[in-house]
Amino acid sequence: MDDEKMIEKSEKENVAPDALVEVSNVSMRFRMPAQKIDNLKEFCIKFVKRQLKYNTLEVLKNISFHVNRGESVGILGRNGAGKSTLLKLISGIFEPTEGTIKVRGSIVPLLKLGAGFDPEATGKENVFLNGAMLGFSKKEMQQKYDSIVEFAELGKFMNMPLKNYSSGMIARLGFAIAVDVKPDLLIVDEVLAVGDAAFQQKCAEKISSLQQTGTTLLLVSHSASQVKRLCKSALWIKDGEIVMYDDAEKVSAAYAADCQKQ
Amino acid sequence: MQKKYFEYSDKKQKFKRSVNTLTSMVNRNVRNQYRNSVLGILWTVLNPLLNMIVIAMVFSLIFNRREMEGLYYPVYILSGNIVFGLLRTATSNALPCMVKNYDLLSKTRIVHEIFPISNVLSAVVNFLFSMIALFVVMLISLHKPGIGFHPTLLLTVLPYLPLLALFCLGISFILATIYIRFRDIQHIYSVLLTLWMYLTPLFYSLEMIEQHHKAVFLLKLNPMYYYVTYFRQILLGNVPSLLTHGVLCAWSIGMCAVGFVFFHFSKKKFLLYI
């Protein structure tokens, strides 16, 4: 109890009051079974033979940073650097092995477009189902419905089951529902690479307009140019450690140089 | 030691979101059963009704009885069947629910408990539709022994259904958790469920067994025995004793608590094992 209070106190002293996201000393370790065992027989045999082996995978190593309200931060890094894990930690899907994460405000994580869509249900039903998961009642969704359909450009298809949609259409619908909320923090994980060029452009515009109304953006990307376009500052992660956290131009230049080198 | 914790300023929002999600999921589950069928929602009543008629005909022919424990025999069978049916659909749908919804678990901040709960609630909704079918059967056989619409039927709404749902929820929590680690449980449980069904007096009565075997008290250890007899008591117009209520409460709350604790302490590791 006591040290919990102490942590809280010390953090209040250290960090600016307008920090929306605070990540302090976060490490994430996964303890994975060396082989996937999903049946009882194997488990018992391995248990008796003492062959149950685990690999510890340290994905993030002692990471600390904070993001202020209204800022937008791009997270750069190569595959497997720990970017998505970091976003999942901030979204509250995982809990860190060590350290604390604080988020002061509402979050909309866009880690996958259309997560939770039901292929059997129609587009319209899915809008309501997905809206409910974001915290809206049926009434509120009815008000939003028209603007969602308009943004997704799917007016003709809303009464069709989702399994007949193309993957681009599903992504468009997912994006349209998610951004029709005004969250304090929008977390985007490489989902913008969907749809045709025109729709991508539309998504980028939507995100900038959200930024102007005060939404904080966390964006994961491989692409330095996208980060430069949408974010003011950038965070570069390599093998679970922060390499650089600075102005977006500088970081993306350094990141691009590093990628070329290898 | 640093304590790990999260602080979200939107706790109320989280609760609201869970409730909204729950209702729309239940809605979806019930609709999906009969999607793309000509009769649509009508099947929710028609399906149990037709099933009931078949079961009642077969067992009435085999056992050739008019009534059992004071209740018209087909209704005796049907009442037991819809109670056990609730347990069966709730638990066997909830069993794979965490694995099936991996996408939602790993990509959104959904409350994990929603999945077992929504499956149990969907089964409760189906139970209510089956009740309509049961009422139809009772209407047809009004002049038969022990059949009537008594005010005690209101006990179904409270406390009976919530208690039964809690009991099913407890089991669902446990099964869903085990299924993440060991897929075997699906096959083991389906066998256990069949055994459990035959150990529950659905189409026989414990009085019948008592004449042949002394070990009948063993069958009374089965919690489903109490849930089934409770339901038949209120169909007959009797208010079950305080003791029966106590036994039901103990099983429901106990099972739900055990299941919840088991689920809760394993849920951090769910994502690693699916």
Asked if B16 is an interface residue toward chain A (Cβ–Cβ < 8 A), one would say yes
What pLDDT does residue B160 have? 96
The predicted-structure confidence for B57-110, as pLDDT tens digits, reads as follows: 888 888 888 888 889 988 999 999 999 999 999 999 999 999 998 888 888 878
Q: Do B268 and A95 touch (CB under 8 A)?
A: yes
The ipTM assigned to this model is 0.79
The predicted-structure confidence for A33-42, as pLDDT tens digits, reads as follows: 777 777 778 8
Asked if A136 is an interface residue toward chain B (Cβ–Cβ < 8 A), one would say yes
What pLDDT does residue A16 have? 54
As given in the structure block, the two tokens for residue A27 are: 């490490």
Q: Rounded to whole angstroms, what are the CA distances from A19 to A69, A217, A225, B9, B106? A: 6, 13, 26, 14, 26
Asked if B17 is an interface residue toward chain A (Cβ–Cβ < 8 A), one would say yes
Taken in order of first residue, the domains within chain A and their CATH numbers are 2-106+220-261 (3.40.50.300), 114-182 (1.10.8)
- Residue B4's pLDDT band (cuts 50, 70, 90): very low
State the pairing for strand pair A19-33/A98-103: antiparallel
What is the percentage of chain B residues whose pLDDT exceeds 70? 96
As given in the structure block, the two tokens for residue A150 are: 């308009």
Domain count, chain B: 1
The predicted-structure confidence for B116-143, as pLDDT tens digits, reads as follows: 999 999 999 999 999 999 999 999 989 8
Contacts of A119 in chain B (CB under 8 A): none
What pLDDT does residue A194 have? 65
Q: State mean pLDDT over B194-219.
A: 87
B98: containing domain: 46-273
Q: Which of A12, A15, A38, A120 best probes binding to B when mutated, by most B CB atoms within 10 angstroms?
A: A38
In whole angstroms, give the CA distance from residue B217 to residue A218. 63
Q: Which of B13, B17, B20 best probes binding to A when mutated, by most A CB atoms within 10 angstroms?
A: B20
The predicted-structure confidence for B31-40, as pLDDT tens digits, reads as follows: 888 877 888 7
Cβ pair B118, B193 in contact under 8 A:
no
**Strand-pair partners of A251:** none
The predicted-structure confidence for B140-173, as pLDDT tens digits, reads as follows: 989 888 888 999 999 999 999 999 999 999 999 9
Q: Do A39 and B21 touch (CB under 8 A)?
A: no
Residue in B1, B4, B28 nearest the CB of A118: B28
Contacts of B267 in chain A (CB under 8 A): none
Q: In chain A, which stretches have pLDDT less than 50?
A: 1-13
Q: Do A111 and B10 touch (CB under 8 A)?
A: no
Contacts of A32 in chain B (CB under 8 A): 272
